[in-house]
A and B are shown apart, each in its own frame.
Chain A
Amino acid sequence: MGWLFVGPFGVVFLAFLIAPLAYALYLSLFQKKLIGGTSFVLFDNYVKAFTDPSFLSGAWFVIRFSLVSIPVQIIIALALALILDSVTTLFARFSRLMIFLPYAIPTVIGAVMWGFLYSRGFGPLTDIFGLFGATAPDFLSSDLIFYGLLNVVTWQWAGYYMIILYAALQGVDPTLYEAARMDGAGRWQIATRIKIPLIAPALILILVFSVIGTLQFFNEPQILRYLAAGTIGSDFTPNMYAYQQAFSLANFNYGSAISFALGGIVFICVYAFLFFTRKRRSFL
């Protein structure tokens, strides 16, 4: 009888997740050449991926990017959540909505908008820097693209993480604060000794989300590529590289192998992270 209830989900799960994954895995074991057709090569594509400078440099970029962007996003989200949790004015509600709003904007639109804001020819930066007689930095140049993307990603996601943390904070029993105050704890102590430890599971949840999301970085660079071609190549991130291989070069086999290799990296990173935080992972 139980199977009947699980059935519909099971069918969808198999048809739209397991089957495509299995097919991609199957594809990744073959090689198709323009001349000579398709042949079974077992793990050759994986060997190629892990010696392919394009894949490795892309992977190295997203790892570096994660190491910087995730802490930045989480710290901002946490600070905002704590501030909004301790003030209860109309302004706080308004701010909460405004900080969350970027998340409601599709990443594609967000990236196009930032491409405009970064533009040196007619973006607002030129005018703002011009007021001080300075030249606006070019966030789409190869030197600054890291920070350009960091800003876009933080703007997009910090508000979303903030809402998750804020919701977790709302779930904390207020009597704890009262007890802490009676023991002489100040606001700072309440925040660091009570609030943060109590929402640790939510923090771990958003960390896992952001590790997975950042390693699969695709939308923003793919859109900004139109404005920053040259700075952002087709192999800028592993996901973009897989897309290029599969859809513009018709190399679905190697594209699948890259996707699986990336999946492996994501799995290892998430597993390592959960392993080191295992005491607190009640949320997952």
Chain B
Amino acid sequence: MKRRRILATVAMLAAGTGLVACSSDEGGSDASNCTNTITKQNVPVVTMWGWYPNTQLVVDNFNKQHDDVQVCWTNVGQGGDEYDKFQTAISAGTGAPDVIMVEADRIPTFQIQGALVDIKQYGYDAVKANYSEGAWKDVSVGDAVYGVPVDGGPMGMIYRKDIFDKYKITPPKTWAEYEQAAQKVKDAGGPLFGDFGANVPAVLMALQIQKGATPFTSDPAQPNAIGVKLNDQASKDVLDYWGGLAKKGLVGTQNQFTPEYISGVINGNYATYISAAWAPGYLTGAGVGKGQDTGKFAVAPLPQWDSANPVQVNWGGSAFSVTKQAKKPELAAKVAYGLYADKESLTDGWTNQIIFPLNLTALKDPAFVDLKVAFFGGQQANKEVYVPAADAYQGVQYAPFGQYYLDAMEKQVSEVIKGSITGSQAADRLQEDVAKYAKEQGFTVQ
């Protein structure tokens, strides 16, 4: 046990330093900097940034199938690392790739700066039917389309079967039951029931939306106006709920994605992990669910506030966008539409639990729906939890200053965790902070 723990730690630290190392690389756009090898010569090359674990395979698949264009892929870092570089390239007016992997919640941020191309004119009609309306909504601003959906993050409650069995609890269906179950486990001397991490503000935002909050509203006809509503009762309720769980010692307050948290998950320090469909791939990559842990995890639908009117939410998920710096936007759009859209790439993505596909050819494939997921001990997780959650997902209006909002939320949540303010106070402060920023940025705040 111990040795495995250390190995996992070392691997995580190595991954951490790897990220650091990546971030010092310049994401150059010339073909000599490709991570992949382009075998077909004398063909136009489209540069691309992305960080899916199986990008190499996806890019090779695409290149094999195309004689008119080849993709040159660079991994310039995951999430924020990539966005910081893209942001810098936007400001500099040079250095961005032609095609970039972007999470849906960041599309408005880059779109409002005029950094992305509306790809509706470049073959949208041909692939329109491959994705649901909700999937397109997440990558659109008004009528314009700024990305090709790849994966989504329908949320569920991952839990430890052995812990649930030991303390004789069944998966809670509501958040009230979740708290009761947490109390029961705690009273019996069991582990923490979940985690309230400051560094995953996107999860809290999703949970607030589940309760009925609408953080941002905007009208494409009036791009200068934005509605900011971060301290409505629903948002306060959710922050107070999680702040309360933490205060009562029912859940931990670790930062997620850290070696500390992962080792906790490995050791069974948490009975549940409120996360998205891509989490199993992430956890197995970090060494969870292997060896002695095999088959200990299961998944249940996300607990609800009102079980009569369930609401499904999303965490993460990403798309391919074409940047304004692309020299041949039409060719770049072809890549964006075609990359991670062929059967071979998609199948690899969902069998290895790297992505939860939004492409209907995969989503409706019985092999996908009925898949017995090894991480969940053969449970048909897609059929039971994730596909229904994805089908019921309504889409969200994201902020055009997503990075600022999430940073500000992280700051307030960490105060809640310290116990210096309540969840309601955090929501009020966040409202004030973000509304002020929006005004500074020239928006009319409603």
Which residues of A pack against B, CB within 8 Å? Answer: 33-36, 108-109, 112, 115-116, 119-122, 142, 223, 226-231, 233-234, 244, 246-250, 252
Contacts and interface: CB of A to CB of B under 8 A. Distances in A.
8 interchain residue pairs of minimum CB distance:
A230-B414, A35-B442, A230-B198, A229-B199, A33-B442, A36-B442, A34-B441, A247-B84
B155 to A, nearest CB: 21
A34 B442 contact: yes
A33, A223, A231, A248, most chain B CB atoms within 10 A: A248
A110 B378 CA distance: 42
A34 B442 CA distance: 7
A233 B404 contact: no
Given A142-B418, A252-B91, 19 more contacts: A34-B400, A34-B441, A34-B442, A35-B443, A116-B9, A121-B260, A122-B5, A227-B260, A229-B255, A230-B417, A231-B414, A233-B407, A233-B411, A247-B88, A248-B80, A248-B84, A248-B403, A248-B407, A249-B403
A228 B263 contact: no
A230 B17 contact: no
B263 A250 contact: no
Given A34-B441, A231-B414, A122 B403 contact: no
A109, A122, A244, A246, most chain B CB atoms within 10 A: A122
Nearest to B414: A230
Contacts, number: 93
15 contacts: A34-B112, A34-B400, A34-B441, A34-B442, A112-B17, A112-B20, A119-B9, A119-B259, A121-B264, A227-B258, A229-B198, A230-B414, A233-B414, A248-B87, A249-B404
B421 interface: no
B283 to A, nearest CB: 16
Contacts of A233: 407, 410-411, 414
A27 to B, nearest CB: 10
Interface residues of B, number: 43
Nearest to B8: A122
Contacts of B255: 227-230
Nearest to A229: B199
Contacts of A36: 442
B90 A250 contact: yes
A121 B267 CA distance: 10
B16 interface: yes
A246 B92 CA distance: 12
Task: Tell me the interface secondary structure of chain B in the complex.
Answer: helix
Interface of B: 5-6, 9, 13, 16-17, 20, 80, 83-84, 87-88, 90-91, 112-113, 197-199, 223-224, 255, 258-260, 263-264, 267, 400-401, 403-404, 407, 410-411, 413-414, 417-418, 440-443
B13 A230 contact: no
Contacts of A244: 407
Task: Tell me the interface secondary structure of chain A in the complex.
Answer: loop
Nearest to B257: A226
Contacts of B199: 229-230
Contacts of B440: 33
Contacts of B263: 121-122
Nearest to A36: B442
Contact of B224 (A35, A121, A231, A246): A35
A160 to B, nearest CB: 22
A226 B16 contact: yes
A230 B87 contact: no
Contacts of B418: 142
A135 B174 CA distance: 35
A33 B441 contact: yes
Contacts of B410: 229-230, 233
Contact of B87 (A119, A122, A228, A247): A247
Contacts of A246: 88
B414 A112 contact: no
Contacts of B259: 116, 119, 121-122, 227
A252 B92 CA distance: 10
A157 to B, nearest CB: 20
A197 to B, nearest CB: 43
Contact of A34 (B6, B87, B443): B443
A248 B84 CA distance: 5
Contact of B413 (A227, A230, A252): A230
A66 B414 CA distance: 25
Given A230-B255, A250-B90, A122 B6 contact: yes
Contacts of A229: 198-199, 255, 410, 414
Contacts of B224: 35
B4 to A, nearest CB: 11
B221 to A, nearest CB: 14
B430 to A, nearest CB: 14
Nearest to B21: A108
Contacts of B83: 248
A244 B9 CA distance: 28
Contacts of B87: 247-250
A41 to B, nearest CB: 12
